[in-house]
Amino acid sequence: MKPTLLILAAGMASRYGSMKQIDGFGPNGETIIDYSIYDAINAGFGKVVFIIKEEFVENFKSIFEPKLNGRIETDYVFQNFDLTQFGIEEEIYREKPWGTAHAILSGRKVVKEPFCVINADDYYGFDAFKKMVDFLTTEATDSNYSIIGYEIGKTLSEFGAVSRGVCKVDASGNLEEIVERTKVYPKDGKIFYEEDGEEFPLSFDTPVSMNFWGFTPAVFNITEKLFVEFAQANKDKPKAEFFIPLIGESLVKSGQATFKVVPTSNKWFGVTYKEDKPYVQDSINQLVENGTYPEKLWS
């Protein structure tokens, strides 16, 4: 059974100013998602599931169905505010969805095979998808999951400091914890993070999470239980978000599962602000020029 690619595309893109999930970055208007799906198909994924807001569905279908028809199975699921599906009858006011781990639950009725989760607005590279397919088809179990570990030096922005989930890895290559460093930046040819006004160095190849996780469907029941607890504990905190690393942290600390940190040497890039667009376009153009991708991706 081929694994499934689950794409997180329900974010509101408040900082970017528009629906960056379907903005064009390639030479013929290709989205970042296009390149992820292209790599996923070539790596061996059998289905792609878009997690979106329901009002986006016609936009997504009109953009992706003509390209993907006959190439890979597609499905669409919706992240919404309905808590009754989780047995929570109390109304909890929210302006934004509950976060990435809550989004995963949207796929629980259509994903029946090992799967991975990625962000819609991040470029990951073929190597990461191939290594994830290899893991999901040969190593994944209900107690052995994975995360792609990027070298921090290949994830930084020239526009300023970034936040990165720094992975602490044990001698077996498994995740011990993810520590969120909220201000990471290059300086004088080295990499530092700042904490309490002090600078601390990080090596170029320090593994970080860029939200590329591998699971089996067993994680849905675990995540639902954790989400119910989280929602009830944070009902008076309308900006609290239930992120995927919280699943990893809970499973690792409880000993219920391990997460293999699978290293990749790929360069990551993504888009958060409008100012990032020219950089992402240039990065994709370079990949086209060096032959990584054809100029017309779906021709």
pLDDT score recorded for residue 149: 98
Per DSSP, what are the bridge partners of residue 52?
78
What does the pLDDT read at residue 97?
A: 83
Three-state SS annotation for 187-244? ECCEEEEEECCEEEEECCCCEEEEEEEEECCHHHHHHHHHHHHHHHHCCCCCCCCCCH
Supply the pTM of this predicted model.
0.92
CATH number at 4-142+209-243+265-290: 3.90.550.10
Please list the pLDDT of the chain residue by residue as tens digits (299 residues).
899 999 999 864 433 334 555 678 889 989 999 999 999 999 999 999 999 988 888 888 988 999 999 999 999 999 988 888 888 888 887 878 889 999 999 999 999 999 999 999 899 999 999 999 999 999 999 999 999 999 999 999 877 888 999 999 999 999 999 998 989 999 999 999 999 999 999 999 999 999 999 999 999 999 999 999 999 999 889 888 999 999 999 999 999 999 999 999 999 998 766 778 898 999 999 999 999 999 999 98
The C-alpha atoms of residue 279 and residue 277 are separated, in whole angstroms, by 5
What is the overall mean pLDDT for the chain? 91
Sequence-separated (6 or more) residues with CB below 8 Å from residue 241: 96, 98, 99, 100, 102
What do you get for the CA distance between the two ends of the chain, in Å? 27
- List CB contacts of 3: < 8 A, sequence separation 6 or more: 44, 45, 46, 113, 114, 115, 116, 132, 133, 136, 137, 214
Q: pLDDT per residue over 253-287, tens digit each?
A: 999 999 999 999 999 998 766 778 898 999 999 99
What per-residue confidence (pLDDT) applies to 272? 67
Q: What is the pLDDT of residue 80?
A: 86
Position 13 scores a pLDDT of 45
Nearest-CA neighbor of 78 among 55, 112, 46? 55
